[in-house]
Amino acid sequence: MTETKAMKPKMMKPKAVTVDDAIAILSQIAETDPVAMSHLLACRVECNKALIDHPTVQVRSDNGERGTVSILGIINGLFGVDEDEWGYIAAIIDDDGRCTGFCRAIRIGKPGIDA
């Protein structure tokens, strides 16, 4: 009797992912399941001072000692920050609070951007 090998999924080789690639993938996920993506984005967890002080992860902190981080803050941390230390990726949220996609972050009032 011979032993049969279970079919294993083919492993994909890692590739460099750009901000625009990430936006496209995240938008596809949001389109596939906007409720799940919305819940993931709404979930914030407490983090320590070391993460608050991380140079690229986006953390919400009122006093610099306690903070919270979301999945989007961590994803943005993968791509660095702009000259004002803001992340490059923003979620598009509809009037019902659902995530409908992602885009490059544009800050209202930033020099060179029409508000």
Residue 93 confidence (pLDDT)? 95
Model pTM? Answer: 0.78
Could you tell me the pLDDT band of residue 8, with boundaries at 50, 70 and 90? low
Residue located via tokens 């979301």: 70
Check pLDDT > 50 for residue 10.
yes
∠ CA 90-95-101, nearest 5°, is 35
pLDDT digit string (tens) for 48-101? Answer: 999 999 999 999 998 877 899 999 999 999 999 998 889 999 999 999 999 999
Rounded Cα gap, residues 90 and 105, in angstroms: 5
- For the record, the structure tokens of 68 come out as 């919270």
> Can you tell me whether residue 91 is helix, strand or coil?
strand
> What type of residue is 87?
G
Overall number of domains in the chain: 1
Q: What percent of the chain is modeled with pLDDT above 70?
A: 85
Q: Which domain holds residue 53?
A: 19-104
